[in-house]
C-alpha cells in the first residue's frame, strides 16, 4: 500500500473559485494547562433569514463573514529556542519544509521559534477550537498568544492549552475575557452530519500569518468521509486521518484551525489540510467529531482511545499469490499484517495473516470498519473478535489497551 504523498502550502488566489491546494497543516508539536468546567455551553443558532430568503442577496457571504469574523482568532505560538532556528515563520511546519525544498529564510543564530495558525471561540467561557499541530501538546514549554479583533477590542491575550489530541489533530485553548469587552464573541455551530456535498462553504482564517488576517475564501463541500495520509516529519512516519470533509475553498498556511462555515453561518468543520498533489482540494475535521471529544479534552487534557495494536490491509490489497498460499477465498474482512509488541492483540493471541471478520456484533468488511468500531470503545473494554485463520473461523477474546501518545 503506497501512501499518497501529502504535503503543504497552496498559493493564495483571491476572489476566484479556482484554488491551488497542497496537503498541509501548519504548526508544530507542543503542551498543557487545565480548566475544568462541567459543561461547555456552545451556540447552535443560525443566522437569521438563512438560505431560502438570502440566495438572492449578493452580500450574503459578506454578511456571514461580518458576523463570524470577530470570533475567529489569530494564534501565535512561541517555542523555546532549539539548537538552530530560522526566520521562516512556518519553520515549525513539517509540511512546509517538505514542500519547499529550498529555504527562502536563511538560518540565523539561536532564538525562539514561532508558529502561527487560526482558531475560533465557541463559548463565552473563552474556549477556542484549533488544530493540535498549530499549538502542540500541553506542557511542552510553549507560550500561546491569541489576537482578538472585535468592534470593542483589538489586542492580544495569553491562552492556556486545555487539552490536545494528536490523533484527531484537535486542541482546545482557553482565554480570559479582556477588560473592556462585555462578552467574548462566539461562532454558531452547525451539524456536520447534516451537511451535503455540493453545498456552499466559507473558510475564514489568517493565511501566511497576521499580515492577511481574517481572509475569506469560498467554495463547495466536495465530499465527506475522506481518508488522507500525511507524512509527519517530526514523528518520521505516515499519519492517517479518516472521516474528513473535502472542500475546494482555499485553505492556506495560517488558515489551519480556522472554521469551515455553511451558508447559514454555522461552523461545520475545522480546516486542517490541503493537497499539494491536486488543485482545489482541502480538508476539514467535522465539527460533530470535535464536539464528541471536546469535553474529554477539557476535563482530562487528552483523549483515551481503545487500541488493538495491529496493522491491517483490506483483502483487495492483498496479492493473489499470498491469498493462494493461505487458501484464502474471502471477499470481505481486514487482514492483520503486523502486530505491535506488548499490545492487546499480541496478548490475546491474534496472529499475522488472521482476517478479522467481526468485532462483537459488528461485521468487518474492511479495515475502516475496524477503525470505526474501536473508536466507539474504551481502553479496558473486553470484546470477542471473530477471525479467519488458515481455513477455519475462531473466536478470540481481547481486552483492549490504550492507544499510546503520538499514534
Which residues are catalytically annotated?
133, 169, 256
Set of cell numbers at residue 4: 499518497
Cβ atoms within 10 Å, residue 155: 13
Give the whole-angstrom CA distance, residue 249 versus residue 169. Answer: 20
- Cβ-based neighbours of 171, under 8 Å, separated by 6 or more: 129, 130, 131, 132, 134, 135, 136, 161, 163, 164, 165, 257, 297
Q: State the Rg of the chain over Cα.
A: 22
323 in helix, strand or coil? helix
Contact 252, 10 (CB under 8 A): yes
Question: Rounded to 5, what percent of the chain is helix, strand, coil?
Answer: 15, 35, 45
- Cβ-based neighbours of 43, under 8 Å, separated by 6 or more: 122, 123, 186, 187, 188, 189
Contact 306, 381 (CB under 8 A): yes
What are the distances in angstroms from CA 215 to CA 64, 65, 104, 118? Answer: 13, 9, 24, 11
Going by C-alpha positions, the residue among 36, 38, 173, 51 that lies closest to residue 117 is 173
* Residue at grid coordinates 452547525: 190
* Residue at grid coordinates 488566489: 13
Give the whole-angstrom CA distance, residue 68 versus residue 90. Answer: 26
Contact 215, 72 (CB under 8 A): no
Give the whole-angstrom CA distance, residue 405 versus residue 390. Answer: 34
Phi, then psi, of 386 in degrees rounded to 5: -90, 125
Amino acid at each position: 500500500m503506497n501512501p499518497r504523498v501529502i504535503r503543504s502550502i497552496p498559493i493564495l488566489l483571491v476572489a476566484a473559485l479556482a484554488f491551488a491546494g497542497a496537503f498541509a497543516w501548519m504548526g508544530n508539536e507542543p503542551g498543557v494547562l487545565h480548566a475544568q468546567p462541567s459543561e461547555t455551553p456552545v451556540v447552535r443558532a443560525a443566522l437569521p433569514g438563512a438560505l431560502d430568503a438570502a440566495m438572492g442577496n449578493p452580500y450574503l457571504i459578506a454578511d456571514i463573514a461580518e458576523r463570524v469574523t470577530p470570533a475567529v482568532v489569530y494564534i501565535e505560538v512561541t517555542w523555546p529556542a532549539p539548537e538552530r532556528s530560522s526566520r521562516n515563520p512556518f519553520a515549525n511546519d513539517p509540511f512546509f519544509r517538505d514542500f519547499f525544498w529550498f529555504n527562502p529564510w536563511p538560518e540565523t543564530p539561536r532564538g525562539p521559534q514561532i508558529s502561527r495558525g487560526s482558531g475560533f471561540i465557541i463559548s463565552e467561557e473563552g474556549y477556542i477550537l484549533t488544530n493540535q499541530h498549530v499549538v502542540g501538546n500541553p506542557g511542552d514549554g510553549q507560550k500561546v498568544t491569541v489576537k482578538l479583533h472585535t468592534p470593542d477590542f483589538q489586542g492580544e491575550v495569553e491562552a492556556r492549552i486545555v487539552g490536545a489530541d494528536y490523533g484527531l489533530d484537535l486542541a482546545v485553548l482557553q482565554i480570559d475575557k479582556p477588560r473592556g469587552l462585555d462578552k467574548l464573541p462566539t461562532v454558531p455551530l452547525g451539524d456536520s452530519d447534516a451537511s451535503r456535498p455540493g453545498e456552499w462553504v466559507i473558510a475564514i482564517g489568517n493565511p501566511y500569518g497576521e499580515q492577511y488576517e481574517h481572509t475569506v475564501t469560498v467554495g463547495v463541500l466536495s465530499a465527506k468521509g475522506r481518508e488522507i495520509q500525511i507524512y509527519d516529519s517530526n514523528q518520521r512516519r505516515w499519519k492517517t486521518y479518516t472521516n474528513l470533509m473535502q472542500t475546494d475553498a482555499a485553505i492556506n498556511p495560517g488558515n489551519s484551525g480556522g472554521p469551515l462555515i455553511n451558508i447559514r453561518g454555522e461552523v461545520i468543520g475545522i480546516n486542517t489540510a490541503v493537497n499539494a498533489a491536486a488543485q482545489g482540494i482541502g480538508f476539514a475535521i467535522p465539527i460533530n467529531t470535535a464536539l464528541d471529544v471536546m469535553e474529554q479534552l477539557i476535563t482530562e487534557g487528552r483523549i483515551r482511545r481503545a487500541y488493538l495494536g495491529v496493522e491491517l490491509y483490506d483483502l483487495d490489497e492483498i496479492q493473489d499469490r499470498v491469498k493462494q498460499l493461505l487458501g484464502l477465498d474471502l471477499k470481505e474482512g481486514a487482514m492483520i499484517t503486523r502486530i505491535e509488541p506488548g499490545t492487546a492483540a499480541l496478548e490475546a493471541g491474534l496472529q499475522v495473516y488472521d482476517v478479522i471478520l467481526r468485532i462483537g456484533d459488528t461485521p468487518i468488511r474492511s479495515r475502516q470498519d475496524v477503525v470505526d468500531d474501536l473508536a466507539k470503545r474504551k481502553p479496558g473494554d473486553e470484546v470477542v473478535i471473530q477471525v479467519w485463520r488458515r481455513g477455519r473461523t475462531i473466536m478470540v477474546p481481547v481486552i483492549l489497551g490504550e492507544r499510546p501518545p503520538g499514534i
